[in-house]
Amino acid sequence: MITMELEELKGLIRDVPDFPSKGIVFRDLTTMIKNGEALRVMSHEMANIYRDKGVTKVIGIESRGFIGGSILAYELGCGFVPARKPGKLPSVTVKASYAKEYGVDTIELHSDAITSDDVVVIHDDLLATGGTMNACYQLVKSMNPKKIYINFIVELTALDGRANLPEDCEVTSLLKY
């Protein structure tokens, strides 16, 4: 039986000041997911968003997106696809590069990971500026699935990351700061 409320999860997330650099407050979700009841609440609430949407694949973005993404795939009874940094996947890949505040980064998927029959949820733990998610979305879109959804556990609304995500895609986040 789940007795914890969704909003109570915020109280379990640790704020780490000046990480990874001065002036940044890092939202550390590991302190939430180490709590069994909180993990169940998070899992249940994320899955409820997508239970009736015919999702066939969940893509988790490296590395913290692997945690919630694999849980979501399990809850929905569908496949899990890792979106990785370059050189981490063992077979033929497709990739997308994107600008970050301190350079360029790249994300890759196996070229056979998504088909035109798939309904996909792309998951990451946290929405900040949206650059990584937008690159992953563009990559998945190039594979022509039936539908794409975007999901986060936490959204930092002051950074306006949604402005960098496609307007034609449903974006959900469980917790907003």
Answer yes or no: 101 catalytic: yes
Rg (CA), the chain: 16
- At residue 131's C-alpha, the angle toward residues 127 and 132, to 5°, is 80
Judged by DSSP in three states, 129 sits in: coil
Judged by DSSP in three states, 55 sits in: coil
Of 5, 7, 101, 167, which one is the catalytic site residue? 101
Please check whether residue 91 is in contact with residue 154, taking contact to mean a CB–CB distance below 8 angstroms.
no
Answer yes or no: 62 catalytic: no
Of 40, 62, 64, 75, which one is the catalytic site residue? 64
- Give the residue from 174, 177, 176 showing the smallest Cα distance to 43: 174
Determine the Cα–Cα distance for residues 9 and 153; give it in Å rounded to an integer: 10
Strand blocks (E) in the chain? 14-17, 25-28, 57-61, 79-83, 93-100, 103-110, 119-127, 147-155, 170-176
| Token couple for 174 | 């469980």
Catalytic residues: 64, 101
